[in-house]
């Protein structure tokens, strides 16, 4: 039987205000519209993979509030197996998101039920974790749960993709157990002990080497409309430019990338080819509003690639 992609991560309701410009501290701006979408980095990656026909099972928690049932339903609608998603007392995770007219965003996440996903929950679902062909996780659940998952993954020799988002410093003991580390620019800077900063191409290349030195096996640096930098343990690193699309909402572009990357690896594709396909999936996602609703199907990806989209030349 085919092994599942198992996602251990967060499930949020996204409350999204569209504005012309994201306000600075102390400022009030008029919103253009308000919408709610199912989100959360874990759930987004699960939905991205399932929409692409991956066999996906999720371990997570929602609250017993007005949002919990709806969030579960939206996962199931996308063919994510939610038998290991528990409904617990208290509120569901929520994300307050402001987007601007360039498609950029600022996000505040209130973890709610996601904070209650403990290592004991991995023990309760140990057969599911061990059955995985690949494991995906992120940092919107307690770090100790991510660390325990990494320990199990290493013991069982199951590839682990860690999206180190939201940005924070991580112990080398965790990074050593990660097969695929996929930070964006801010996450890269914080992992390396710097404040958030814009990285030049040269600094990106140096950062990938530094992340290898901290222990991660393979590194994919996700750089928005500059594309990504793929540094594998056994091949020369390579830049993959982003597709030239009109971004409407970049929320969950990184999640689209990770979900698609996992599906491609599970389908036996080579890592570089998988990252290139994931870039197309992520590019489509930024042309659509919302997190989970923006994830494409395989036929939409085929059509996008047939339409011979150009690459952006935004490297710096
Ligand atoms: P998020 O936290 O919103 O999920 P992220 O910050 O982790 O996203 P990004 O680097 O923004 O990740 O995006 C991931 C990938 O999506 C990029 O490496 C790129 O391939 C693609 N992408 C992002 N923004 C754009 C864009 N404006 N145009 C084309 N492709 C994009
Ligand atoms: O990665 C995007 C996600 O981050 C959003 O869906 C939001 O829930 C936040 O967790």
- Of all protein residues, whose CA lies closest to atom 8 belonging to ligand 2? 40
How many angstroms is it from 154 CA to the middle of ligand 1?
A: 28
Specify the pLDDT at position 197: 79
User: Are the CB atoms for 254 and 282 separated by under 8 Å?
Assistant: yes
Specify the pLDDT at position 280: 97
Domain annotation covers residue 239 = yes
How many angstroms is it from 18 CA to the middle of ligand 2?
A: 15
User: Residues near ligand 2 with C-beta < 6 Å?
Assistant: 12, 14, 39-41, 44, 95, 107, 109, 140, 251-252, 254-255, 291
Q: Helix or strand or coil: residue 162?
A: strand
* Sequence-separated (6 or more) residues with CB below 8 Å from residue 93: 10, 11, 12, 13, 40, 62, 63, 109, 110, 111, 112, 113, 114, 140
**Structural domain for 291, as ranges:** 5-11+40-60+118-306
- The domain total for the chain is 1
- Of all protein residues, whose CA lies closest to atom 7 belonging to ligand 1? 254
Which ligand does the CA of 15 lie closest to? Answer: 2
pLDDT along the chain (316 residues), means of 10: 95 96 94 96 98 98 96 98 98 96 90 98 98 98 98 98 95 96 96 86 95 93 97 94 93 97 98 97 96 97 87 61
Rounded CA-CA distance 221/209 in Å is 11
Specify the pLDDT at position 102: 84
Domain annotation covers residue 264 = yes
Maximum alpha-carbon separation in the chain: 55
Domain annotation covers residue 102 = no
Kindly report the CATH number assigned to the domain that includes residue 143: 3.40.1190.20
Domain annotation covers residue 87 = no
User: Both tokens of residue 52?
Assistant: 């692409």
**Of 145, 179, 142, residue with least CA distance to 161:** 179
Specify the pLDDT at position 198: 87
- Of all protein residues, whose CA lies closest to atom 6 belonging to ligand 2? 39
Domain annotation covers residue 163 = yes
């Amino acid at each position: 039987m085919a092994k599942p992609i198992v996602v251990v991560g967060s499930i949020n309701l996204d409350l999204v205000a569209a504005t012309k410009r994201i306000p600075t501290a102390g400022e009030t701006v008029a919103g253009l519209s308000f919408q709610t979408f199912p989100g959360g980095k874990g759930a987004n990656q699960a939905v991205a993979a399932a929409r692409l026909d991956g066999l996906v099972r999720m371990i997570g928690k929602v609250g017993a509030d007005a949002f919990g049932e709806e969030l579960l339903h939206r996962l199931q609608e996308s063919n994510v197996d939610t038998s290991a998603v528990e409904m617990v007392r208290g509120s569901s995770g929520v994300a307050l998101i402001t987007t601007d007219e360039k498609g950029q965003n600022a996000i505040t996440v209130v973890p709610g039920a996601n904070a209650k996903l403990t290592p004991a929950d991995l023990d309760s679902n140990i057969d599911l974790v061990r059955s995985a062909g690949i494991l995906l996780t992120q940092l919107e659940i307690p770090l100790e749960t991510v660390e325990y998952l990494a320990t199990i993954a290493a013991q069982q020799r199951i590839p682990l993709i860690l999206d180190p988002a939201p940005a924070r410093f991580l112990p080398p003991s965790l990074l050593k157990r990660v097969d695929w580390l996929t930070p964006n620019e801010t996450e890269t800077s914080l992992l390396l002990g710097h404040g958030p900063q814009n990285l030049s191409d040269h600094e990106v290349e140096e950062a990938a080497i530094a992340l290898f030195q901290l222990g991660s096996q393979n590194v994919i640096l996700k750089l928005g409309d500059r594309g990504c930098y793929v540094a594998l343990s056994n091949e020369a690193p390579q830049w993959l430019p982003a597709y030239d699309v009109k971004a409407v909402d970049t929320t969950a572009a990184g999640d689209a990338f990770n979900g698609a990357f996992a599906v491609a690896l599970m389908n036996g594709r080579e890592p570089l080819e998988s990252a290139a396909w994931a870039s197309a999936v992520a590019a489509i996602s930024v042309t659509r509003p919302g997190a989970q609703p923006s994830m494409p199907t395989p036929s939409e990806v085929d059509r996008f690639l047939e339409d011979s989209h150009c690459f952006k030349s935004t490297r710096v």
